[in-house]
Chain A
Amino acid sequence: QKEVEQDPGPLSVPEGAIVSLNCTYSNSAFQYFMWYRQYSRKGPELLMYTYSSGNKEDGRFTAQVDKSSKYISLFIRDSQPSDSATYLCAMSASSASKIIFGSGTRLSIRP
């Protein structure tokens, strides 16, 4: 079993829809959770960085962490074609630990 599982997609939704992206993990030691966005042939861009359980909101993006279920989510409201990219979840056990990445979900927003 992989430490971090993420549905590769592709996920296609119409513009304006709410997008839900998810990851599950097996290592209960993970405390730090991140979401990255990666456009084709570019480096990943950090979108959200959270510690432990709870919600964090930044503009149209909301990250949720449920440590009891070992499940994290990223919600994108009012999705735009420019949101079309691969979204990678990532997590680590401590602030200085190696980050483990999910395989990424390819998201396409249809105009």
Chain B
Amino acid sequence: GAVVSQHPSRVICKSGTSVKIECRSLDFQATTMFWYRQFPKKSLMLMATSNEGSKATYEQGVEKDKFLINHASLTLSTLTVTSAHPEDSSFYICSAQGPTYEQYFGPGTRLTVT
């Protein structure tokens, strides 16, 4: 149980284009999902908290217009990186909050912007 999937696992895009990453909780409902960014050999940096049916809460320094988050259902949250630039290249990981508030992580999406 408690499986979270992400799609795509890897994506390469050109500078200026937008990329959408999906996060799904496969066997449980998650009213809250989280989006993290992780740089090589560094820990997870929380970008935003996504609540089903309401606007996401962004961490300080994270541009909400650049990183669009939509949590349209209890099993799906999406992160769209708009007008991507090479500095947006990173490993993006989502997590879904389980019934006893623990977080289960997806496998991550490696974004490379050329």
- Chain A residues close to B by CB (< 8 Å): 8, 32, 34, 36, 41-46, 49, 88, 95-96, 98-99, 101-104, 106
Given known A-B contacts A41-B110, A44-B93, A99 and B103 have beta carbons under 8 A apart: yes
Q: Which of B32, B42, B104 contacts A103 (CB 8 A)?
A: B42
A44 near B105 with CB under 8 A, answer: yes
Of residues 86 through 102 on chain B, the ones whose CB sits less than 8 Å from some CB of chain A are 91, 93, 95, 100-102
A46 near B91 with CB under 8 A, answer: no
Listed stretches B14-22, B43-51, B64-72, B74-82; interface member: B43-51
B102 near A43 with CB under 8 A, answer: no
The winner among A8, A43, A49 for most chain B CB atoms within 10 A is A43
Provide the bound-state CA to CA distance between A27 and B41, in Å. Answer: 24
A98 near B49 with CB under 8 A, answer: yes
Convert B12-46 into 0s and 1s, putting 1 for each residue whose CB lies closer than 8 angstroms to a CB of A: 00000000000000000000100000000111101
B43 near A104 with CB under 8 A, answer: yes
Provide the bound-state CA to CA distance between A15 and B42, in Å. Answer: 26
Provide the bound-state CA to CA distance between A106 and B41, in Å. Answer: 9
Q: Look across to chain A and name the residue whose beta carbon is closest to the beta carbon of B98.
A: A46
User: What's the dominant secondary structure at chain A's contact region?
Assistant: loop
Q: Which of B41, B103, B107 contacts A46 (CB 8 A)?
A: B103
B43 near A42 with CB under 8 A, answer: no
Provide the bound-state CA to CA distance between A49 and B6, in Å. Answer: 23
Given known A-B contacts A95-B100, A98-B49, A45 and B110 have beta carbons under 8 A apart: no
Provide the bound-state CA to CA distance between A44 and B6, in Å. Answer: 13
B44 near A41 with CB under 8 A, answer: no
Residues from chain B with Cβ under 8 Å of A104 in the complex: 43
Residues from chain B with Cβ under 8 Å of A8 in the complex: 41
Provide the bound-state CA to CA distance between A106 and B106, in Å. Answer: 20
Residues from chain A with Cβ under 8 Å of B91 in the complex: 41
Provide the bound-state CA to CA distance between A81 and B4, in Å. Answer: 26
A45 near B105 with CB under 8 A, answer: yes
Q: Look across to chain A and name the residue whose beta carbon is closest to the beta carbon of B109.
A: A43
Q: Look across to chain B and name the residue whose beta carbon is closest to the beta carbon of A96.
A: B101
Min distance, Cβ B4 to any Cβ of chain A, angstroms: 8
